[in-house]
Amino acid sequence: MANTRTVTVINGDGIGPEVMAATIRVLEALKAPLEFEYKDAGTEVIAKYGTNLPHETVEAVLRSGVALKGPTGTVVGGGMASANVGLRKRLDLYSSLRPVKSVPGVKTRYENVDLVVVRENTESLYAGLEHIIVPGVVESLKIITEKASTRIARFAFEYAKKNGRKKVTSVHKANIMKLSDGLFLDCTRKVGREYPEIHYEEVIIDNMCMQLVKDPTRYDVLVMENLYGDIISDLCAGLVGGLGLVPGANIGERTAMFEAVHGTAPDIAGKGLANPTALMMSAVMMLDWMDLKDEARKFENALAKVHGEGKARTGDLSGSATTREFTDAVIAAL
């Protein structure tokens, strides 16, 4: 096939291989000019490689420039560092992009939600710089730099400009962390002045949580540091029906990784019950990023049709469809 692009595929753990297989089926049905190169990462490959992030996986993504990734597990309170965090650091995927939009046919407490969470991906408390000072006392360092803050602010404003968005909200805790979050705000303000056509505002993180729950339609593009972004993006997913319905992308200067942001759901792994919507929507974002707009719109419209009709719904949406039945419906809707 002419101009075929290689996509590095990382199945991940738990339900990862199932939702990935479903998503690849749709991409193949679309006849998208892609070929798939499979590589490993996650807790289930540690026994094979001695690590949850093999060097050859990172090298493959650097070669292809784009990865499609299923969920990977992380041990809580011990064990190896997260494979997700490792990929973001080693590929310098500095921006986490999480569009959150109401899904047709999925009833929640809110209607017409359409906002975007832009999260700085490389520093803040997620730098993982922790040490024991004396037994019983642990120090964790929050790193904020002008370079990373300016870069993520520019990404947010550029995204807003390219996608016809009207407002960027910087989320912070500079009333308490005056130096670190203060630096972040200084950087977003400076960048904001270069985009006079886009309204800029600042909201303190705890107030932001309350305002989102009261009325999420007030917001458009939200930009913030790493930890705040992790929390806010999951909160926003809850507004539209949960993590199973929200896509995710991690974007750098030269590479991008598109992934489902939900967990590995080991309780239903291998049973054919998983909802592949989040990974499928991430694949739509990937197609857009690769400038395959026609394929992206066909995939997106097919998903909207299936959700809108409500005939093929997986268990998490109170339906009885299997992963395969849902995928068959999406392919039929193409």
Is residue 151 within 8 Å of 132, Cβ to Cβ? no
DSSP string, 40-74: --SGGGHHHHSSSS-HHHHHHHHHHSEEEE-----
Specify burial of residue 312 (Cβ count, 10 A radius: 0-12, 13-18, 19+).
Answer: buried
The amino acid present at 157, given as its one-letter code, is F
Closest CA to 181 of 221, 140, 228: 228
Catalytic residue status for 38: no
Whether 13 sits among the annotated catalytic residues: the reply is no
Instruction: Look at the block and give the residue holding tokens 């309204």.
Output: 199
Q: Given 92, 206, 215, 294, which residue is catalytic?
A: 206
For residue 152 the two structure tokens come to 């993520």
8 A C-beta contact, residue 298 and residue 280: no
105-109 contacts at long range (C-beta below 8 A, 24 or more positions apart): 105/307, 105/308, 105/309, 105/310, 106/240, 106/241, 106/245, 106/307, 106/317, 108/239, 108/240, 108/241, 109/239
Is residue 92 annotated as part of the catalytic site, yes or no? no
> Would you state the structure tokens that stand for residue 27, as one six-digit string?
């991409």
Tell me which of 89, 173, 228, 298 is the catalytic residue: 173
The CA distances from residue 217 to 19, 92, 114, in Å, are 30, 32, 7
SS (H, E, C) 108-129: CCCCCCEEEEEEECCCEHHHCC
| 181 given a catalytic annotation | no
Active-site residue, selected from the candidate residues 13, 40, 181, 230: 230
The amino acid occupying position 97 is L
Q: Which residues have a catalytic role annotated?
A: 126, 173, 206, 230
